[in-house]
Amino acid sequence: MYNIRIDKQQYDDLVVLENMTSKIEQGDFIVIMGESGCGKTTFLNIISGILQGYEGEVYLNDVALHKEDIASLTKIRREQLGMIFQDFQLIDFLSVYENIKLINPQVKDDEINQLLEKLNILELKNKEIAKLSGGQKQRVAIARALAGNRNIILADEPTASLDARASREIMEIFRDIHKEGYTIVMITHSPQIASYADKMLYLYDGKFETEIDLRGLSQSVKLKNIIEVVEKHYEQMLAN
Ligand SMILES: Nc1ncnc2c1ncn2[C@@H]1O[C@H](COP(=O)(O)OP(=O)(O)OP(=O)(O)O)[C@@H](O)[C@H]1O
């Protein structure tokens, strides 16, 4: 699916990502963790084609994203990538239906209804976004991301604006769509949220320094392993 080599990404004098490689396979559920400002969002922006101009090569299947122009990257995003953000990025004065349709004009109403039903928000279809709770807004954002048979979900701190209960519900949705075959790459600062994933990548010093396979483990063992890695890197950071 993804084959990634980033030789360097810098903003002015600040080198953020350097000499890093990564692979993402179809059906992966990957969580990316790392200290604030270490480059997690930058990485997601590169693999979604939002950020260009880095040194390196990023292949999505056979497509060389680093060589594509803005129009084809936009098309690839629309057809294959569903993006989910901490602040939802919905238009407040439009309805749930209008928000989904705006980004996916080609998607049929039947599909939108099915998605809203699946996410338990069908009764909110004609409600304005401004009138919804955070958890409901994130469900709308997930419906928008899934519409049009996209199969890769890229989520940047999807639960950071939600309380514990809404966060858990959103992660249960992620777990369900992963079981259906979606590939998920998610950023979070929370070990509890990370413990829904099957693989954890810890970004440190410009690259993924630690990678742990969480497949087949219970959620409490996943959590324990994740906390160990986070603490190890925290101590490493304090020592430097
Ligand atoms: N467009 C930009 N111009 C200049 N500097 C930037 C830009 N985008 C990000 N940076 C800087 O690059 C570094 C990495 O930012 P990035 O948002 O990728 O980190 P992050 O790991 O996602 O952080 P957080 O966990 O706080 O969201 C930060 O120091 C940030 O200030």
pLDDT, residue 65, reads 95
Contact 187, 32 (CB under 8 A): yes
CA distance 41 to 55: 17
Contact 186, 32 (CB under 8 A): yes
CA distance 200 to 125: 35
CA distance 140 to 144: 6
131-142 pLDDT tens trace: 999 999 999 999
pLDDT, residue 25, reads 95
pLDDT, residue 149, reads 83
Ligand 1 pocket mutation, candidates 18, 41, 204, criterion most atoms within 8 A of CB: 41
Decide: 34 in ligand 1 pocket, CB within 6 A.
yes
Mean pLDDT, residues 215-233: 95
Ligand 1 mean position, distance from CA 188 (Å): 14
Decide: 158 in ligand 1 pocket, CB within 6 A.
no
Q: Which residues have C-beta within 8 Å of that of residue 191, sequence separation ≥ 6? A: 33, 223, 226, 227, 230
Asked whether residue 40 carries a pLDDT value surpassing 90, the answer given is yes
The minimum-distance atom of ligand 1 relative to the CA of 38 is 21
Asked whether residue 130 carries a pLDDT value surpassing 90, the answer given is yes
**Confidence category of residue 148, pLDDT binned at 50, 70, 90:** confident
Decide: 37 in ligand 1 pocket, CB within 6 A.
yes
Contact 188, 40 (CB under 8 A): no
Asked whether residue 189 carries a pLDDT value surpassing 90, the answer given is yes
Determine what percent of the chain is predicted with pLDDT higher than 70: 100
Could you tell me the residue ranges of all domains in the chain? 2-239
Ligand 1 mean position, distance from CA 43 (Å): 10
Asked whether residue 181 carries a pLDDT value surpassing 90, the answer given is yes
CATH 3.30.9.10 at 2-239, yes or no: no
12-37 pLDDT tens trace: 999 999 999 999 999 999 999 999 99
pLDDT, residue 143, reads 93
Structure-token pair, residue 205:
């010093």
* Residue whose CA is at the smallest distance from ligand 1 atom 3: 11
Place of tokens 């009138």: 131
pLDDT, residue 152, reads 96
CB-side neighbour CA atoms (13 Å) of 42? 21
